[in-house]
Each structure stands twice: as C-alpha cells, then as structure tokens.
C-alpha cells in the first residue's frame, strides 16, 4: 500500500503510451529519453516527467492488463492522454506506411469503435481489425493487429475518447509476410515516424488542456434540474466536455420534451453528439 501511494504522489504523468513489443518501444524510449522504472515488475515501464510508456506483451489480454495495471498504479489526472503505437499488417500498403486508426473492429466479438478524430491527423487514416490470432491471409481491406481493440475498450474506462488514439506502422503485406519481420526492422520502421508521433502527442496535449477536471458549463444546472446517479454524473461531465470540444464551446439547444430523468438527458446529448459533422 505504501508503494502504491508513493507512486501516485510522485509519478503524475499525463501521457501514457502502450506498445505490445519491446522493439516497438525502443525508438520511443530513446527519443523521449525515458528511463526504466525498476519498481514495476509485471510490465516493462519507462518514463520521464511527462510520459509513461508500458510494454504490455502481445495479445488483447496482455494489452488490457497492462493498461488496467498502470492506470491503477500511476494515473493522477482525470483525462490522461492514451496512445497505442505499434505495427500492423495489410494486404497492399507499403511497408513503413503510417496510419492513424479511425475505425476499430474486434474480429472475435464483432464490436466496432470509432475513435474521435479531433486532432489533425499526422498521416493517412484507416480501419483496423484486431484478432486473437495472427491474420496471415491478407484477404481483407483493413489493417490487422492483435491488440488495438482491447487497448481502446480498456482505455475508454480511464479517459475521454478524444484523448485515446492508435497509430500503426505497416510491417508486413502479401509481398513481405509477417514471418519475415525482425525486431531490428520493426524498430527502424517505428523510428522513421518519430516526428509524426511527437506532433500528434503535442496536439493531444493541447486538447487535454481544454478538457479540464473542472465542471463543464451547464453541469450544475442540469444536476439540479434532473436526478443523476453518481455514475451518470460522470457520464454527463464527459458528454458536456465532448460537446464543447466538438462544437467550439457552443451551448446545446436542449429539447426538454420527454426529459424526466438524468438518463433522458444523457441519451439526448449522446444522440446530438453522434450527429455532429466534424471535418478536419
């Protein structure tokens, strides 16, 4: 318990990077001058004053466990930046191509997620399919990996969706299949995109400063007018902050017709946000 408390008091990082493999992390550790945290045993964790990088190991379960462990141990801000960086395969894309993922498909569960694209993408965007086993057929239009859907589904429990993104570098395709990849090649592919990664983190840092832990406008008014449970109040804050970011701080024109409970307000806000046409 003392170790847990000390870590939370002295390691208040706001940016969390998650990679599955050490070779994916290597160039990031070097560029950001991260030092290994020897107090952490289950996962390899590297950090400086602003960034904490965790190597979770491959697979969805490992990624989910790595996120849950480090967020429980180190998170000290309400809206941390959370970024998954790693390699992915694709049937046609050239090796070394960089993609910011705008659609996540979990092949095993069928669940689909759309990470909000609030920051300006530093590269092309694309859809990614995550599966429990390597996808070596190269017979679908999506990028493919083994961690990203678990990263996103776990990360949204700890931060605002706008601050959760996945960057993937193409490491294999039909002409150069996955069995030919070496760790050194992966590190070289990742290192080539350090400027784009740093740029995205800078943009996300600016966005995170807008999503402050204080109460968003209309929050007090709505909780006085409608009954919200404790968890619903947290959801209300998240939706109101998201509304302000996506609409440049415009006030929502609430239609109170049929709104009798806090849950009705949440449903209305959620529908309105999903209808916003956001262009980059």
pLDDT above 70: percentage of residues in the chain = 92
Comparing 145-159, 166-180, 244-258, the range with the smallest average pLDDT is 244-258
Q: What is the pTM of this model?
A: 0.73
- Does residue 202 have a pLDDT over 70? yes
Report whether 4 contacts 70 (CB < 8 A). no
Q: Give the Cβ contact number of residue 18 at 10 Å.
A: 27
User: Which has the closest alpha carbon to 94: 143, 50, 54?
Assistant: 143
Confidence of residue 277 (pLDDT cuts 50, 70, 90): low
d(C-alpha 77, C-alpha 1), whole Å? 20
Q: Which pLDDT does position 214 carry in this prediction?
A: 64
Q: Which pLDDT does position 88 carry in this prediction?
A: 96
Give the pLDDT confidence of 68-105 residue by residue, as tens digits: 999 888 866 678 999 999 999 999 999 999 999 999 99
Please give the CATH number for the structural domain made up of 2-210.
3.40.50.1580
Q: Which pLDDT does position 9 carry in this prediction?
A: 37
Q: Which pLDDT does position 29 carry in this prediction?
A: 97
CATH 3.40.50.1580 segments of the chain: 2-210
Give the pLDDT confidence of 102-131 residue by residue, as tens digits: 999 999 999 999 998 877 889 999 999 999
3-state helix/strand/coil string of the chain: CHHHHHHHHHCCCCEEEEECCHHHHHHHHHHCCCEECCCCCCCEEEECCCEEEEECCCCHHHHHHHHHHHHHHHCCCCCCEEEEEEEEECCCCCCCCEEEEEEEEECCCCCEECCCCCCCCCCEEEEEEECCCCCCCCCCCCEEECCHHHHHHHHCCCCCHHHEEEEEEEEECCCCCHHHCCHHHHHHHHHCCHHHHHHHHHHHHHHHHHCCCCCCCCHHHHHHHCCCCHHHHHHHHHHHHHHHHHCCCCCCCCCCCCCCCHHHHHHHHHHHHHCCCCCC
Token reading at 69: 């462990």
């Amino acid at each position: 318990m003392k170790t847990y408390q000390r870590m939370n008091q002295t390691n208040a990082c706001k940016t969390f990077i998650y990679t599955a493999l050490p070779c994916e992390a290597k160039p990031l550790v070097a560029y950001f001058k991260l030092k290994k945290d020897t107090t952490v045993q289950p996962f390899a964790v590297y950090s400086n004053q602003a960034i904490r990088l965790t190597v979770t190991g491959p697979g969805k379960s490992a990624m989910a466990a790595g996120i849950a462990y480090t967020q429980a141990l180190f998170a000290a801000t309400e809206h941390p930046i959370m970024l998954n960086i790693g390699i992915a395969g694709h049937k046609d894309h050239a090796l070394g191509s960089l993609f910011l993922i705008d659609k996540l498909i979990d092949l095993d569960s069928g669940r689909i997620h759309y990470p909000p694209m609030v920051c300006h993408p530093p590269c092309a965007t694309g859809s990614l399919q995550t599966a429990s086993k390597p996808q070596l057929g190269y017979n679908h239009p999506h990028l493919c990996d083994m961690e990203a859907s678990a990263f996103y589904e776990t990360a949204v429990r700890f931060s605002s969706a706008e601050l959760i993104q996945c960057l993937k570098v193409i490491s294999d395709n039909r002409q150069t299949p996955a069995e030919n990849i070496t760790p050194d090649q992966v590190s070289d592919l990742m290192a080539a995109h350090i400027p784009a990664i740093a740029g995205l983190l800078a943009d996300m840092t600016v966005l995170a400063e807008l999503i402050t832990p204080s109460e968003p406008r209309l929050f007090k008014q709505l909780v006085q007018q409608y009954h919200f449970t404790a968890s619903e109040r947290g959801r209300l804050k998240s939706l109101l902050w998201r509304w302000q970011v996506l609409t440049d701080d415009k006030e929502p024109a609430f239609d109170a017709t049929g709104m009798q409970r806090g849950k009705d307000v949440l449903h209305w806000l959620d529908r309105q946000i999903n209808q916003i046409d956001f262009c980059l």
